[in-house]
Amino acid sequence: MMRQYELVDRVRRYNPATDEALLDRAYVYAMRAHGTQVRASGDPYFSHPLEVAAILTDLELDDATIVAALLHDTIEDTSATRTEIEKLFGTQIADLVEGLTKIKKLDLVSKQAKQAENLRKLLLAIADDVRVLLVKLADRLHNMRTLKYVPQEKRGRVAQETLDIYAPLAARMGMQDMREELEDLAFRQLSAEAYSSIDARVAELRERNGPLVEEIERELQTELSSRGIDAQVKGREKRPYSIWRKMERKAIGFEQLSDLYGFRVMVRSVEDCYRALGVVHTKWAIVPGRFKDYISTPKPNDYRSLHTTVVGPKRQRVELQIRTYDMDDIAEYGIAAHALYKDESGDQSIILSNESRAYAWLRKTIENLSQGLSPEEFLEHTKLELFHDQVFCFTPKGRLIALPRRATPIDFAYAVHTDVGNTAVGCKINGTIAPLVSELKNGDEVEIITSRAQTPPGAWETIAVTGKARAAVRRATRTAVRAQYAGLGRKIAERAFARAGKPFAEEAIAKAMPRLARTSLDDVFAAVGRGEIKTDDLVRSVHPDWTAPRADERGQGQAANGEGWFELKKGQNLKFKIPDASEAVQAIPIRGMNGDLPVRFAPKGGAVPGDRIVGILTPGEGITIYPIHSPELQTFEEEPERWLDVRWDVDELSDGRFPAQIVVTAVNEPGSLAQVATAIAEHNGNIEGIVMRSRSPDFHEMMIDLGVFDLRHLNGIISDLRSRAVVSSVERSNG
């Protein structure tokens, strides 16, 4: 265990003006407070806060942070109080210790909603003083280093939390060394076999290659020195978690990795960075597509460096990072590298540079707390922001927008402004018209084309990558859906009053709102559209003396035309008659539909329970149900107000059949049709129509209309058909 004078010496090494008396007082106080407490390892408990303080001295942090590290468990685990700590060590240190105590009480490993709320509290505490985060990260690092002493059932939860929350937070704060060690320690616990396998392969490679890293270091150093560049070169192997993540991301094996070694070149000035880059690219062949300039375009966590990969000495593929010594400090220590130890008045405190983009990101994340996100949405947004690597794009005016990998122009539009995202109808990437679903690349210039008539389609939520874009699409979709229901409900109400022989008047409905428990006409009509208010109740709220006719007086639904349309009356399920099939009418229960509008399936392809479906409203006609995969839906992309959210509501024991269409390509030989029909019959499928056409002398194509119970039933038929020798291919028709 580190002695008192050793801790003081560690701090004095980088801060000669340290308050030795303060450090001594905190050391003695924490040691006495923890007394005879022991850790799971059997070591005195005080060894833990002492090691946390030692980690923070490596980051060269101020006295207040070191003292807070020594005291961070005292309020929670001993009889010490905030009042006592404030009296002995001052308000600033007391605030830090109390902030850490609040975080210690959080149980981040929990169910999602609770975890989200706790993460919210964690970030709020960090926002008050970033030193809280620095101590917490050091605390977690030491706990991970000693995780083997923790009961087995707890290790996995702690390791997963580290990988989910703390390692990404360290990365966002630019603290790469801490991030990598946290990731490796968590990976070793969560995937011990994978960790051991990769570690053994790296050791085997190291033994086979001998002193390869040292040789490449020397050759790089010699080459730069011969060109008059004063540089320091350091090389190292990549860590197991970094290797595993790359193998997983690129879906490749260990043998296919060609850049297991990374080298850092540190020089004295930005000019020397680019000179060194020129020397490297002149001497060795560059690997195309692997150059990145994070000096002219820094990462959001303040990281600056030149990255390149070359086929270097000994034909070895070498990753190089070229940066100044100051850039290297920020790369290693991140936000902690912005720390000063005294302000001009001599007050000892940590001072974060206003240019710290890492802390600016943290403040921006905190601002999202005020946007009314649900806990689950907040958790999704924050994890998305933490996990993803970045791509950097520009507006036409040169504004830099940092986005996660795989981001689209939709994400870009919402990053510029929510209104820009909500009104986006198209985009230009590097001056060329491109789809809004395009994946953006580093350096792209993106121009968003907007229209005030646009409303973001709900499908954007599955396309967007950033939490901000997804949350904005959800809000806009909810607003649009409410407007759709209100418009639909108004039409239903008008028809209901007409059937009742009563005049439709919004003023009269407005006066009846208290009886309907609604506060606005839009609320009333939206409730009618969703089926929450029955039309009979609506009419009766305005005309209390009106009596609804009995069901037998209304008669049964009658076909409105020859295309399978049906007007649905009270008490009936939604019904649909398959065109050109039997005269029997099928019940199609679908949630989200009110029984006062005619409903039918799309004429091509059909839909079956299990399909995701949407309803398209045609004013004056009714609602058409489409499977979500139908290409016909593209016709309505510019009319989001017509889209209705509908769901199946079918009893699993129902024996009703639903229309589906498949295309079978079969060998052109006698008996092939019989084999196809037999396979369908064996699965209790019903062939309701078939069209055959020749594709070639050897094959013919059958377009078969089926009646099936649900999607599982349909997939079983398709799977069986594909196994038949006479069948070349089977696809479901998308309509």
Cβ(63)–Cβ(70) below 8 Å: no
- Residue 618 CB coordination number (10 Å): 12
Angle at 348 between CA 347 and CA 354, to 5 degrees: 90
Question: Which residues on adjacent β-strands are paired with residue 44?
Answer: 38
- Work out the burial of residue 433: count CB atoms within 10 Å of its CB; fewer than 13 is exposed, 13-18 middle, 19 or more buried: exposed
* Spatial separation of the C-alpha atoms in residues 1 and 493, rounded to whole Å: 79
- Residue 597 CB coordination number (10 Å): 21
- Residue 557 CB coordination number (10 Å): 18
Would you give the DSSP letter of residue 164?
A: I
Question: Which residues on adjacent β-strands are paired with residue 50?
Answer: none
Active site residue 596: no
Nearest to 359 by CA among 525, 123, 143: 123
Question: Which residues on adjacent β-strands are paired with residue 450?
Answer: 424
Question: Which H/E stretch holds residue 368?
Answer: none
* Spatial separation of the C-alpha atoms in residues 716 and 707, rounded to whole Å: 13
Token output for 184: 């490796």
Active site residue 682: no
Which residue in the block uniquely carries the two structure tokens 């977690």?
Answer: 140
Q: What DSSP string describes 593-649?
A: --TTS-EEE-TTTB--BTB-EEEEEETTTEEEEEETT-GGGGGGTT-GGGEEE-EE-
What are the angstrom distances between the C-alpha of 396 and each of 51, 80, 123, 312, 351?
50, 58, 34, 38, 35
- Which of 20, 77, 219, 332 is flagged as catalytic? 77
- Which of 20, 60, 76, 445 is flagged as catalytic? 76
* Spatial separation of the C-alpha atoms in residues 121 and 99, rounded to whole Å: 10
- Residue 151 CB coordination number (10 Å): 7
Among all residues, which ones are annotated catalytic? 76-77
